[in-house]
A and B are shown apart, each in its own frame.
Chain A
Amino acid sequence: MAKLRVVHYINQFFAQIGGEEKADYPAELRVGEIVGPGQALTQQFGEDAEIVATIVCGDSYFNENLDKAKADILAMVKEQAPDVFVAGPAFNAGRYGVACGTIAAAVQEELGIPAVTGMYIENPGADMFKTKVYIVSTKNSAAGMRDAVKKLAPLTVKIGRGEAIGASSEEGYIPNGVRVNFFEKERGSQRAVKMLIKKLADKPFETEFPMPDFDRVDPNPAVKDLAHAKIALVTSGGIVPKGNPDHIESSSASHYGEYDIAGVMDLTEETYETAHGGYDPVYANEDSDRVLPVDVLRDMEKEGKIGELHHLFYTTTGNGTAVASSKAFAAEFSQKLKADGVDAVILTST
């Protein structure tokens, strides 16, 4: 089997250019060079793969010039036409981890070239990208390089060859929400007994199925003076001005929309619709007030039940949208709502 062609991405630190003071180092392609951790990877690859080029980029440069850096690096990778792309490992370096995740995901999505990276589970990049690319779980510092490369190299080869990827515990990647079957060495009852013994002794044990992580939020205290409160509408039901000007996706939304409803008394079939692809849109398209109740709130405004309806509403589609994305959207527009003096929000979903 021919050796897989690998392009390797590292930051300025691992390229031994320098530390924080060199973090603004722009993206640079080094064809035919194996740099830093690339040596260890090459050793592990053996006859299976070879690094044909290394891309070096400063962490600050990448994160501060995101669009340009991404475009430049994608062009470099495209030019090399590798079979597989490897970024990092980033260990616990936050900006490096985010850069590795961002560029690996972009290479995979935009160039269709399989990609893999590695980092410590608490690296913020892990949570952001674990469902998008395989991220090998590493120790929290570069002292764990040997161990990281031992997992990263074989996974790179498998991914490069398009082979079936086993369960996270077998391959060493951070669980990505996709459940994969595999055979354990012991039967389930034995594993249960061992787990119980550990649990009884207050020793650490690892569950085979982590319960879904429900981020429960306590409701805020009730609004005391509704008659003078400024109320805003927010929805995950996908209500947008007709034509969906900002192209909010029908599922797995990547952004939210902010729209002005100053003077809008009623959402009509002619003016508004839903972008949501997860429910039958007929009734929402017929009358978007059914999802985003502008008409009723205008009435209440008139009747003096509420102070006023905020002139902007925020909208996205909740359909399959990652919790992390939803959180990021909300964190951003909540600040705007606060700045605009909004007292309370009615959040509608579907």
Chain B
Amino acid sequence: MIVFKSSFFYDKHTEVTVREKRKQMGSRDYMVITNNPLVLDRLKETHHIVYRDISYEEILREVRDRIHEGHTLLSHPLSGSVKPNETPYKSIMLSERKGEIDEGSVQLIENAIQACRKFIFKSDLYEESVYDDFQLIDWSLLESGMASADVW
């Protein structure tokens, strides 16, 4: 596999980082990569959020690139029983710190990217209101991961 810099394939999006605030709040050792506006809205003041207006699979690739930069996966990329290509939203927790490339993380993210393709794409078929539900579910999955992380 060739490792491209994350900026290689993607236009630069606004990276919403409120590092100062985060510093004030003590050192949370994770960031959240997300395409879920609800997550951005709820966490932007308190957490390191990398928000991208891209697809579910592209979020996985964004995470993949960061794993190759040395970040470690903290939450499961296929969290939730709502299938990829069904829900358009995905939020994933990554370690703030960089180190050696974590092989377990590489494997998990690669399997997750592969799994995406098994499902017929229908993320764009829903009524407006359904997207609120998708956002809420994704948020709650992330929230349950953060609850575990914040214990430390």
- A348 pairs with B9, CB closer than 8 A: no
CA distance A130 to B140 in the complex (A): 45
Interface residues on B, range: under 10
Q: Is A80 close to B, CB under 8 A?
A: no
A348, B4: Cα distance in complex, Å = 12
Q: Which residues of B contact A350 (CB under 8 A)?
A: 1-2
Q: Which of A262-288 contact B (CB under 8 A)?
A: 280, 283
Asked if residues A291 and B9 are in contact (CB atoms below 8 Å), the reply is: no
10 nearest interchain CB pairs? A349-B1, A348-B2, A350-B2, A291-B2, A349-B2, A283-B9, A283-B8, A350-B1, A280-B9, A290-B2
Give me the interface of B with A, judged by CB distance under 8 Å: 1-2, 4, 8-9
Name the CB-closest residue of B to A284.
B2
Sample of 10 further A-B pairs with CB below 8 A, known A349-B1, A350-B1: A237-B2, A280-B9, A283-B8, A283-B9, A290-B2, A290-B4, A291-B2, A348-B2, A349-B2, A350-B2
B-contacting residues, A233-282, CB 8 Å = 237, 280
Shortest distance from the beta carbon of B152 to any chain A beta carbon, whole Å: 34
Question: In the complex, what distance in Å separates the CA atom of A280 from the CA atom of B8?
Answer: 12
Q: How far is the CA of A349 from the CA of B1 in the complex (A)?
A: 5
- Interface size class, chain A: under 10
Name the residue on B nearest A293 (C-beta). B2
Could you mark each residue 296-327 of chain A with 1 if its beta carbon is under 8 Å from any beta carbon of chain B, else 0?
A: 00000000000000000000000000000000
A291 to B8, CA, bound (A): 13
Task: Write the nearest CB–CB distance from B78 to chain A, whole angstroms.
Answer: 17
Contacts of B1 in A (CB 8 A): 349-350
Closest to B8 in A: A283
Q: Nearest chain-A residue to B2 (Cβ)?
A: A348
Whose C-beta in chain B lies nearest to the C-beta of A350?
B2
Chain B: which residue is nearest A348 at the CB level? Answer: B2
Q: How far is the CA of A291 from the CA of B3 in the complex (A)?
A: 10
Q: B residues within 8 A CB of A283?
A: 8-9
Q: Nearest chain-B residue to A279 (Cβ)?
A: B9
Please report the C-alpha to C-alpha distance between residue A260 and residue B1 in the assembled complex, in whole angstroms.
23
Within 8 A of B (CB), among A199-247: 237
| Distance in Å: Cβ of B9 to nearest Cβ of chain A | 7
Contacts of A348 in B (CB 8 A): 2
Nearest-neighbour CB distance to chain B for A178, whole angstroms, equals 13
Query: Shortest beta-carbon distance, A252 to chain B, in Å?
Result: 15
